[in-house]
Structure 1
Amino acid sequence: MNQDHEPEATRRDASDTESSRANRGWWDRNADEYQSEHGAFLGDDRFVWGPEGLDEAEAALLGPVAELKGRRILEIGAGAAQCSRWLAAQGAHPVALDLSHRQLQHALRIADAAPGTPGTSDLVEADAGALPFRDGSFDLACSAYGALPFVADPVQVLREVRRVLRPGGRFVFSVTHPIRWAFPDEPGPEGLSVAASYFDRTPYVEQDGTGRAVYVEHHRTVGDRVRDVVAAGFRLLDLVEPEWPEWNTQEWGGWSPLRGHLIPGTAIFVCEAA
């Protein structure tokens, strides 16, 4: 990328290959800043579903916490594997998968800084669209803002998750709430007015001076997400839209108390392998 110019933000088509290459590079370049800025909120061994701060310890979307012990769980788009470390502390056997090598290095850094505490049994660098695991090898799967917002073919990822889950296994994933795509990504009052069509599914792309994508996000409507889940062989058990809690006073990108009290920022899909 031309270092003399900031990436240009645009809306245009982006293939799965282009999206994967761009986002792997973006997370490798920005993992240090991301963990520095958000690491305290995420914690080293806390399972947070999104910027609202909904915690799996209280939400129990994967099932009763007491029943996680002994379960083999795949975390997709694990980042620094904070969620997997929490799962390990509950007695589960997590595998933390991410596309970004640098993000997984932060997982190792956290583990090295806390010797003797539960860590992750495995860290795997791989693309979520081609999971390197046998069929039916996991009891549960989860993803907190991992992979699905960044892929052009979410059904392929969902089918891969369904493949590696045992029948009846639960997959819970969170993404930016689709309604947010109609609003500017701003935490203040300017982010409260509709600026685009909710039905415009053209990807958001940041590209360098040569037109090469360096970051990509893909928009799906709520209906699209539901149809994707069903097409991949899941049953949708619940759709959770966390409300912004009074204790959370921080801003995180376009998320803020101002917006969070008015419109949803996160959508969490609770699915079961059919």
Structure 2
Amino acid sequence: MAAVVAGLARLLQPAMMFPRGESGCQGPAPWYLLLGLRLVALFIADGPWSSASPDLVCNWTLVEADIRPFCSALCFNRRFLAPVSSVWGFAFLAALLPVGLMGFIRAGSQHQGKAVRGADEELTDIAGVSHSMAAGSSMATGTIHPLPNRATARTNMVPSEPKMSSHCTWPSMAFSFCVFLLLSMELVFFWVVVSLQIPLVSETTFLCFPGADTCPKAVECALAGQADKQMALWVLAFTAFVNMAACLAYLLLTLGKLSQCHRR
């Protein structure tokens, strides 16, 4: 797990850098930064939880030494019915999907903006050439005619379109949908960690019922490193809370700007 986390960190390091010439809050860079926070949390949580199965200690005073590993494995499987560390990895991979879509949407929006600016510059050059030719013709004939400036010529050449705020376009709406999708995933992950995983390590001891004829009917067990395992889970829950807060803040700001767009 630690090797996988280190590899993903090196993979995402260029993406987490804020791009030049762009406002960081308008691009996917902050979301990659939040994924980097999750990577650090996964690296911290991997230490205490990498030895969860050997850390299970039970009271085998009346059980033969040969069958203790078998009964211990049964107790571990009954205690941890749902996966623990695998859920963390799946949640991280799921969060990569909307964040990656944010990058594609922002890149497409920037490409479209560059194309529009290039067309505007071309129209401006054409209007300037027309302005110069008309001025030369007026000087040759000795007559002076009022000439429209470049802004007027550009306005006459391009049909008027209603101005729309950048927050009302479809790329911004798609970006907001990705943020909402990320919020939903983080909410589910937060619920799994707090409601399902943390209670597993909250009890000091618990009764295990192996359910095998060779094992005792009930045995008292404990999980070593309980405090470290609890802290690792709370760190993951904290990262999910930070991601949810960032998503909610972005969505609330976007809703406020959309309301301003509809009022115009």
TM-score interval, normalised by the smaller of the two chains: under 0.3
More helix by share: 2
Compare relative contact order (CA 8 Å, sep 6+) and give the higher one, 1 or 2.
Answer: 2
More strand by share: 1
Looking at CA atoms only, which structure, 1 or 2, has the larger radius of gyration? 2
With normalisation by structure 1, the TM-score equals 0.20
